[in-house]
Structure 1
Amino acid sequence: MDALLRNFFNLEVFQQVLPFLLQGLLTTIGLSALVIPLGLAGGLFVALVATQTESRLVRILIAIYVDVFRALPPLVLLIFIYFGFPFLGIDMPKLFAVALGFLLNNASYYGEIFRAGLLAVPQGQMEAARSTGLSRLQALTYVVVPQATRNVLPDLIGNSIEVVKLTTLASVVALPELLRVARDAQSLLYNPSPIVLAALIYLALLWPLVRLLSRLEHKNMVVRH
């Protein structure tokens, strides 16, 4: 037991590395605050195009995009963007590469969630909104999309939790997010306690969202029954 505590729950190491891990946490929070809204906006755009267009070709292209980027590992995508694009003469900052990679990946997942929400809104809602004098865009903005978002809010929150955890992939382009800082500290101290502390910080960060998600899912189950 002493060896376990010394190697994984070393309080002296915790105290030593905590300031550095908190800096990494700020980077993680900043990345999440960037890529989650981008993914939500991109996913909503994908869902609206998929559900509102009358072009079969456009729907096929959207389906291909969604399938490809849901199947492609985000780590591979990020490596290709950051390390591959320079061979095409396109150099981009680390943060821009991460934002683009997450946008392409997250928009495919958020898009499917939003699409399910939009399809769950009765067609009569659009017709009723249009009958009051609203344009199609206004009806979507003020009537359909809010209802669709409410329908799939637990799924949106659940996916956002996964996105926060996926920000650890930014370490592949040397962005100093929380897990990378912890791994660097581990390699310097030859002790895995920084990794355990990083996990505890992730737990403290995401636990409120997990509880909120559980409450929303329970509420939806009660409403359906």
Structure 2
Amino acid sequence: MNEIITFIPQALEGLKVTIEIFAITLIFSIPLGVIIALGRISKISILKSITGAYVLILRGTPLLLQILFIFFGLPLLNISIPRFPAAILAMVLNYGAYFAEIFRAGILSIDKGQFEGAEVLGLSKKDTFFRIIMPQALKKIFPPVASEVVTLVKDTALIYVVGLDELLKIAKIASNRLSSIMPFVVVAVVYLIFNGIITKVLEFIEKKFNYYE
């Protein structure tokens, strides 16, 4: 019990870093996903090819490898990025690709009559997308987006490889110092609580989308 009490303040410090990585990644990866999704469904062939290659590479390689490449590989090209921005960049690029495919599927699921109706009404492409298509697509894509958000919470643990003091690294250091697995147990509980809160928030938001039914 003393080990747990001693470790809790350290775990909370690690949780702060984890939450920062989670929040910043979410804030930037969702808009990036929308942009990439629009590129994927674009009629401009070169734009479609570039965004398609982006999605293929980022979804086809492990996130851990991408983090290592950005932090350890780019310096070989004389491009040095500090630990925190490197972790954020890797996470945003990776999740942007996953969100892009979810958004693309959601947009393509909307009946073409919706586009034609908006055109008849004289709406611009921008208004058509943001006022008609996207609100309907959001209802359909929210469950898979929510699933990715929950996965993101767990994937933040991968940033330990660049030396950031997030939950997993804090637990590993404490475990080695105390010769005990209790720090890992505490961290597991913290992840469960954090994920539980995120899940409840997502469920609340999903209920708000019921007005489309």
Query: TM-score of the superposition, structure 1-length normalised?
Result: 0.86
CA shift, 1:138, in A, is 1.7
Equivalent residue, structure 2, for 1:90? 79
After TM superposition, the structure 1 = structure 2 runs for residues 11-160 of structure 1, keeping only pairs within 5 Å, are 11-51=1-41, 53-160=42-149
After TM superposition, the structure 1 = structure 2 runs for residues 208-219 of structure 1, keeping only pairs within 5 Å, are 208-210=197-199
AA matched with 1:187: N
Percent identity of paired positions between Structure 1 and Structure 2 = 31
Equivalent residue, structure 1, for 2:187? 198
Change (3 A) 1:33 1:217: closer
Equivalent residue, structure 2, for 1:187? 176
What CA distance in whole angstroms lies between the structure 2 residues aligned with 1:95 and 1:59? 31
AA matched with 1:45: I
AA matched with 1:66: V
CA RMSD, 1 decimal: 2.3
What CA distance in whole angstroms lies between the structure 2 residues aligned with 1:213 and 1:158? 9
Runs of 4+ in 1 over 4 A off after TM superposition: 211-218
Greater displacement, 206-215 / 181-190: 206-215
AA matched with 1:44: V
Report SS of the residue matched to 2:165.
coil
Deviations along 1:61-120, one digit per CA (max 9) or x if unpaired, are 322221221110111111111011112111112121111111221111111100111011
AA matched with 2:100: G
Report SS of the residue matched to 2:79.
coil
CA shift, 1:131, in A, is 2.8
CA contact (8 A) 1:154 1:216 kept: no
CA contact (8 A) 1:50 1:59 kept: yes
CA contact (8 A) 1:158 1:213 kept: no
Equivalent residue, structure 1, for 2:166? 177
Q: Which runs of 5+ in 2 are unaligned?
A: none
Greater displacement, 96-105 / 26-35: 96-105
What CA distance in whole angstroms lies between the structure 2 residues aligned with 1:171 and 1:131? 53
CA shift, 1:56, in A, is 2.9
The count of corresponding residues between Structure 1 and Structure 2 is 211
What CA distance in whole angstroms lies between the structure 1 residues aligned with 2:123 and 2:27? 27
What CA distance in whole angstroms lies between the structure 2 residues aligned with 1:157 and 1:43? 14
AA matched with 1:27: V
Q: Which runs of 5+ in 1 are unaligned?
A: 1-10
What CA distance in whole angstroms lies between the structure 2 residues aligned with 1:86 and 1:55? 34
Query: TM-score of the superposition, structure 2-length normalised?
Result: 0.90
